[in-house]
Amino acid sequence: MSVDEVVCLPRLSRVAVCGGTHGNELSGVYLVRELLKVKKGVMEKEEEQEEEEPLSVLKVLSNPRAMQQCRRYVDTDLNRCFTHATLNGLTSGTVPYEMIRSRELNAMLGPKGRSGAVDLVCDLHNTTANMGLCLIAYSDCDWICLHIFRHLQASANFSNKESYSLDSVGKHGFAMEIGPQPHGVVRSNVYTAMKAGVQHMLDWVCFFNSGTLFEGESVDVFTMIKHIDYPRDSETRNITAAVHPHLQDRDFCPLHPEDPLFQTFSGETLRYKGNEPLYPFFINECAYYEKGIALSLARKRRVVIPTIRVQTEQEQAAHVQELASEEEE
């Protein structure tokens, strides 16, 4: 697709800002709580022209039970409960709390894949890894999200990768991941960065809804290739090494073949044996020890995003009629 091609997209009338999907990632928890204190949160935007429809911002605390216990989850990871099979499948016996909650959230923000879903979901997360402000997208062809990413780039360094999670419930969605911050802790600088990121996102939505034309260009994204586990004892499955000091805290810096990867507890250096330079992220993430992930590796590539603008009323009406016809089939 050419950067000069103009793509007309529907207005973004409803935006959801979700915190506490993981109950011990506290920046999003406290930010959403702050927004819920007043009828119109400090970040809720209304168009300047009276005849234009105001932007509706839903503030959602995604996993209340995990938040109360300051735990990542109660029974299972909520962010792994938003596949169509989980949301629509039959249940029997004891159902994990997060599975029940995912269906509640799907009813509130979705249904996933249907015309009644919210227009944009921004799901707020923290990481113990040194990833700065990282924006995780459901797709690398979501022009709305990629233009939001480019807008945020003016105020902070960020990276983009693909994901299947709560943000996939809306018509468009992404996760805002900020670190490093220990789980169960809130750091003022990380909270402030997240608050600014959400504000810039809402500003962009208002610009888009008012008719601003956003020029197309190429942007760099990171596509996840694979996960790497810690070295382990073949019998006990205990880990036998930690992330090497030369790699620690170097998220999104290139990792070349033969670069130090792990340091065993006896002091030996284990090197990266890949065939090409890749980009590590979520390095030594605390929450991923249980998943057997020491770090993930991504390939950096360039994506062409087209020029976009909001649809006119006539184009919007035609789009709504097309969606209704598709859902009747």
Q: Summarize the annotated binding site for Zn(2+) as residue ranges.
A: 22, 25, 125
Look up 177 and say whether it is catalytic.
Answer: yes
H-run or E-run covering 304 = strand 295-305
H or E segment at 69?
helix 64-69
- Beta-strand relationship, 260-264 and 132-137: unpaired
Tally Cβ neighbours within 10 Å of residue 153. Answer: 16
Per residue, the 3-state secondary structure of 98-159, as one string, reads: HHHHHHHHHHHHCCCCCCCCCCEEEEEEECCCCCEEEEEECCCCCHHHHHHHHHHHCCCCEE
User: In angstroms, what CA-CA distances link 262 with 152, 282, 287, 314?
Assistant: 34, 15, 19, 59
Q: Which of 177, 290, 315, 326 is catalytic?
A: 177
Chain center to CA of 169:
12
Q: 162 with 136: CB under 8 angstroms?
A: yes
Known binding-site positions: 22, 25, 125
**Contact indicator for 178, 134 with CB cutoff of 8 Å:** yes
C-alpha of 68 from chain center? 23
- Residues 281/251, Cβ–Cβ less than 8 Å: yes
- Give the start-end residues of each E strand in 229-294: 241-243, 260-264, 269-271, 279-281
Give Cα separations from 185 to 41, 235, 316 (angstroms).
24, 35, 44
CB 135 within 8 A of CB 106: no
Could you list the active site residues?
177
